[in-house]
Amino acid sequence: MSTKVRQTHRPATRPRPAPTRPGRRLLPWRLLAASALALAALVTAVSLLTAARDTPRPAPAPALTATVATIDGQAVPVRELNLYLAQERAATFSHFQQKYGAADGPAFWTTSHNGQTPAAYLKKHALADVTEATVRLRLAQRYGLLADSSYAAFLAGWRSENARREKAVAAHQVIYGPVQYTEPNYFTYILGNIDFDLAEKLSRTGVIKTPDSALRAYYTAHKSEFQLGHHTSSTTRGTGVRTLTFAEARKQVAQAYVSDQYQAMLADLVRTAKVKVAASVLAAVPVDRA
């Protein structure tokens, strides 16, 4: 008996096609340009932040009470120096404008001209001014015209004087001068009075001697300063000038001689004053403020 084997014919399996990869889509050129600009901006921002971090920041302005210098042992606060910075600022600007053609602007004070910046020039002259003022104040204290020559004592006196004036005005009392002094004006007023009183005190105590021989020599050298205008006639408008004799002008001669001697003495004391500057404080004092 024969057995038939049925063979099942399976259809041939077709190979599956490989999946197609989607083609790359090119970015629009505008998007590429925007990306490039964004990247450039990011790089610039990082560079600026790095530069700002690496650039040393200027030191903060020192306190007004900080000592910027000592003159013959007396401390000079920043607040006092500021008076002279304000006083010398216009002259400094004029000097650099006329000599170097420097123009006003953010870089004016820090731009070097022939090795010197306007800021350094201004501070140098302000220090010279405050040195002279300190010498005068100390001399006045030495000869009993001031109880305290410090700037703190001056500020206390200034506030007290303004309070006195305010009360006088409120009470309808007569006052001479301004109703209120500004700090710079009162300081100038005090120094002016000190000069007159100190010269007189030095003469009266014999520190400045006024021998007759010295006064006559001074009169001879300055005769043109001791003249008197007078009418040539009581009925005419004509005037003439007559030089006073020594006897007539003796009082004026003595005053002028003492004043000159006082100024010479003061100049010598300023020249020999021991000035110690706190360099870091001085460097941090701003100069571009009104």
Least confident of 61-75, 144-158, 225-239, 265-279: 225-239
Residue 234 is predicted with a pLDDT of 47
Instruction: Identify the CA nearest to 136 among candidates 67, 197, 77.
Output: 197
Is pLDDT at 206 greater than 80 in this prediction? yes
pLDDT digit string, tens, across residues 80-116: 999 999 999 999 999 999 999 999 998 999 999 999 9
Confidence of residue 30 (pLDDT cuts 50, 70, 90): low
Please provide the average confidence, as pLDDT, over all residues in the chain. Answer: 84
pLDDT of residue 36: 52
Per-residue confidence (pLDDT) for residue 288, from 0 to 100: 82
**pLDDT(211) > 50:** yes
Mean pLDDT computed over 148-159 = 97
Task: Identify the pLDDT of residue 37.
Answer: 56
Which band of pLDDT confidence, cut at 50, 70 and 90, is reported for residue 35? low
Q: How confident is the model at residue 60 (pLDDT cuts 50, 70, 90)?
A: confident
Separation of alpha carbons 286 and 29, rounded Å? 53
pLDDT for position 5: 41
Nearest to 174 by CA among 165, 186, 163, 161: 165
Residue 237 banded pLDDT, cuts 50, 70, 90: low
67-226+241-284 placed in CATH 1.10.4030.10: yes
pLDDT of residue 275: 97
Which residues, listed in sequence order, are joined to residue 227 by a DSSP beta bridge?
243
Structure confidence at residue 241 as a pLDDT band (50, 70, 90): confident
Q: What's the whole-number mean pLDDT along residues 165-174?
A: 96
Model pTM score = 0.74
Question: b vs e for 92-121, b when ≥16 Cβ sit within 10 Å of the residue's Cβ?
Answer: bbebbeeeeebeeeeebbeeeeeeebbbbb
| Residue 264, Ramachandran bin (φ over 0: left; ψ between -120 and 50: alpha; else beta) | alpha
Residue ranges covered by each domain of the chain: 67-226+241-284
- The backbone region for 72, taken as left when phi is positive above 0, alpha when psi lies in -120 to 50, beta otherwise, is left
Confidence at 7, pLDDT banded by 50, 70, 90: very low
Give residue 22's pLDDT: 47
What pLDDT sits at residue 129? Answer: 97
